[in-house]
Structure 1
Amino acid sequence: MLGRARIGLVVGDRELVGHVWLKWLKDNGLNFVMRLPKHHLLTDAHGHRHAIADLGLAEGEHRRFAQRQVDGVWGQVWVKALAGGEFLFLFGTSGLQQISQRYAKRWTIEQCFQNLKSRGFNLENSHLACHHKLRKLLALVSLAYAFCLAVGHAADRRQPIARKQQGYRATSLSRHGLDIVRQLTRPTTGAQTTANQLAERLLDWIIRQVSHYKIPVKIIG
């Protein structure tokens, strides 16, 4: 549906595994990075098979393998030992030195899904059963999320969000933007701050675009 030329990298979690899927990606020339469950075995060029738990990695230690076979497909492996006997077990074709950094980009997708399902957008609370209405709802919620994320980015550039001891932001960018938009929609709120003024200008721009392109808007009570 997207077209091969538009796909730079396919990133997936432990649910997206198996010989058929991985072989299809490789046969179609699509670079991928997948996290695999720890029970999947590695096979070297001599046909020897071993589990990642047998590598003897200490917590926080990682190893790379340029060519290993997993689920009947040859690729690159990056393994890191985590706390509690868990592992970050990555398998892919996107370049051994960058495989972990590229997989890390998936976290922004995970955050997006978590925010859409709850955390203010509450997509999972819908009881719609109609496929077409669900598509419209998902599109609207996605636009709202993108808008709040853009507002959060702009506000963070002007006044950085406070950081926790671990270095993470105390509030996510999307949540920060959502809080600003909520504040703007309150009847007694004025747009005194730069971030509020920026959000109002962005809202005005969207309204002008709707009017200019005569986008049909249907209000449903």
Structure 2
Amino acid sequence: MSLCLRTALIGSLSAHLGLSKSRLETLSTLLIGLIHGRTVNLTHIASHCHGSACHASKYRRLQRFFQYVRLDQAVIAAIVVRMLKLSRPKCLALDRTNWKLGRKDINVLVLAIVTRRFRVPLLWSVLSHPGNSNTHQRIALLQRYLALFEPSSIDLLLADREFIGADWMRFLVESRVPFAIRVRQDLVMALTDGSAWSIATLLRTKRARHAIHTLDLLLPDSRLPVRLAAKRLAGGEWLIVVTNSPEPRRALQTYRRRWGIECLFGDAKTRGLNLEDTHLTDPAKIDTLTAVLTLAMTWIYKSATDSMGMKAIARKTHGRRRKSWFRTGFDALRSALINTPDTAAALWSESCPKRLRSP
């Protein structure tokens, strides 16, 4: 592993994470090995540790890192925002990613930034149970975000049909968090006159495809005002979002960006860093691994920005991009790590903040 790479990573992260030099060296090894080897498996990453120690000793060193080190999510979030210059209002997406290792369920609730170019984790909670998150867990995650950033930093919070509930939406409205959450047709809402109807009944006369229909509604049990925007898709299915935005049509159109978090999970797993290769199952260790993965993805996106500048990625004849922004940065950074480590080191050290302040 190049000395200049280790020096750049250690020097920039030492000001923020409060780790010893030995732990910072291990973290730099994890970041470089994760990207270079395309896996979070510690056996493979151990081969990137410098020194003459045997492979088993290097592997044990990585294990001890996850056993004893906990990275502050607030610091990681601040580094992400500063490195990718995301201080302006941005869309956030809320979703879960889960997998199994033997009989053990690993379930992570993720709040991610999704922009036209970037999709990167910001804050997360490792759940102690399989299946959906509950209202308390969602509120706790958003409260952690609001302790770091103003509500005005959110353009829209996007979430799928799993993330519904009167108490949850009431919290978002009262916290002034703009949101667009997809809902089911059988959800019962109240009209402004107080009468309760299912959404399917309210939309029964709306026939036109591709037209956006809007309604003013009240949250059940609270009478807080929200708006509904719906559009019938080509296959006949309804796309319905509930929002507190004054522009429900725009909220419905922006909802398509929610797919960015699904792409993020693909980038973190089979299309990129192979997160499911890990044999870690302890929630605290998964938390640390997610923080390392977030730093690696931030470096990858910074590489994509450096490679492409203001240019757009070319499209194929069917209209889709030849590569994702993630894949563009991933390929460029892996090449730099092998062929021009000075370039990779400069890319990190020049973009990582020297000191953190409130975004």
- TM-score normalised over the length of structure 1: 0.74
State whether residues 183 and 241 of structure 2, in contact with CA within 8 Å, keep that contact through their aligned partners in structure 1. yes
In structure 2, the residue matched to 1:49 is 197
In structure 1, the residue matched to 2:160 is 13
Q: In structure 2, do the counterparts of structure 1 residues 105 and 162 end up closer, same or farther at CA, with 3 Å as the change threshold? A: same
* CA distances 1:118-137 after superposition (whole Å, capped 9, x unpaired): 31111122120233322221
In structure 2, what residue type is equivalent to 1:51? I
Aligned-residue CA RMSD in angstroms?
A: 3.1
Helix, strand or coil at the partner of 1:84: coil
Query: Which of 182, 188, 210 is 1:35 aligned to?
Result: 182
In structure 2, the residue matched to 1:143 is 295
Q: In structure 2, do the counterparts of structure 1 residues 39 and 125 end up closer, same or farther at CA, with 3 Å as the change threshold? A: farther
Query: Which of 205, 213, 226 is 1:63 aligned to?
Result: 213
* CA distances 1:132-173 after superposition (whole Å, capped 9, x unpaired): 322221111111111112222332336642213453312100
In structure 2, what residue type is equivalent to 1:59? R
Is 1:203 matched with 2:342?
Answer: no
Hey, what's the Cα distance between the residues in 2 that align with 1:209 and 1:145? 14
State whether residues 189 and 217 of structure 2, in contact with CA within 8 Å, keep that contact through their aligned partners in structure 1. yes
In structure 2, the residue matched to 1:175 is 327
Deviation at 1:14, TM superposition (A): 0.9
State whether residues 68 and 74 of structure 1, in contact with CA within 8 Å, keep that contact through their aligned partners in structure 2. yes
Indicate the percent of aligned positions where both proteins have the same amino acid.
24
User: For 1:78-89, what aligned pairs fall within 5 Å after superposition?
Assistant: 78-89=229-240
Helix, strand or coil at the partner of 2:217: strand
Q: Which has the higher contact order (CA 8 A, sep 6+)?
A: 2
In structure 2, what residue type is equivalent to 1:20? D
Deviation at 1:209, TM superposition (A): 9.2
Q: In structure 2, do the counterparts of structure 1 residues 204 and 27 end up closer, same or farther at CA, with 3 Å as the change threshold? A: closer
Q: In structure 2, do the counterparts of structure 1 residues 159 and 103 end up closer, same or farther at CA, with 3 Å as the change threshold? A: closer
Hey, what's the Cα distance between the residues in 2 that align with 1:200 and 1:169? 30
Deviates more, 1:150-159 or 1:29-38: 150-159
- TM-score normalised over the length of structure 2: 0.48
* CA distances 1:149-206 after superposition (whole Å, capped 9, x unpaired): 22223323366422134533121000111112233344xx5x5xxxxxxx85342353
In structure 2, the residue matched to 1:93 is 244
Deviates more, 1:199-208 or 1:170-179: 199-208
Structure 2: runs of 5 or more not aligned: 1-143
In structure 1, what residue type is equivalent to 2:176? G
Helix, strand or coil at the partner of 2:272: coil
Hey, what's the Cα distance between the residues in 2 that align with 1:155 and 1:208? 15
Hey, what's the Cα distance between the residues in 1 that align with 2:289 and 2:185? 37
Structure 1: runs of 5 or more not aligned: 192-198, 214-221
In structure 1, the residue matched to 2:266 is 114
Deviation at 1:207, TM superposition (A): 5.9
Deviation at 1:48, TM superposition (A): 5.9
In structure 2, the residue matched to 1:2 is 145
Which runs of at least 4 in structure 1 moved beyond 4 Å after TM superposition?
Answer: 70-73, 207-210
Query: Which of 64, 87, 103 is 2:255 aligned to?
Result: 103
Hey, what's the Cα distance between the residues in 2 that align with 1:19 and 1:127? 38
Hey, what's the Cα distance between the residues in 1 that align with 2:258 and 2:320? 17
State whether residues 188 and 196 of structure 2, in contact with CA within 8 Å, keep that contact through their aligned partners in structure 1. no
Deviation at 1:33, TM superposition (A): 1.6
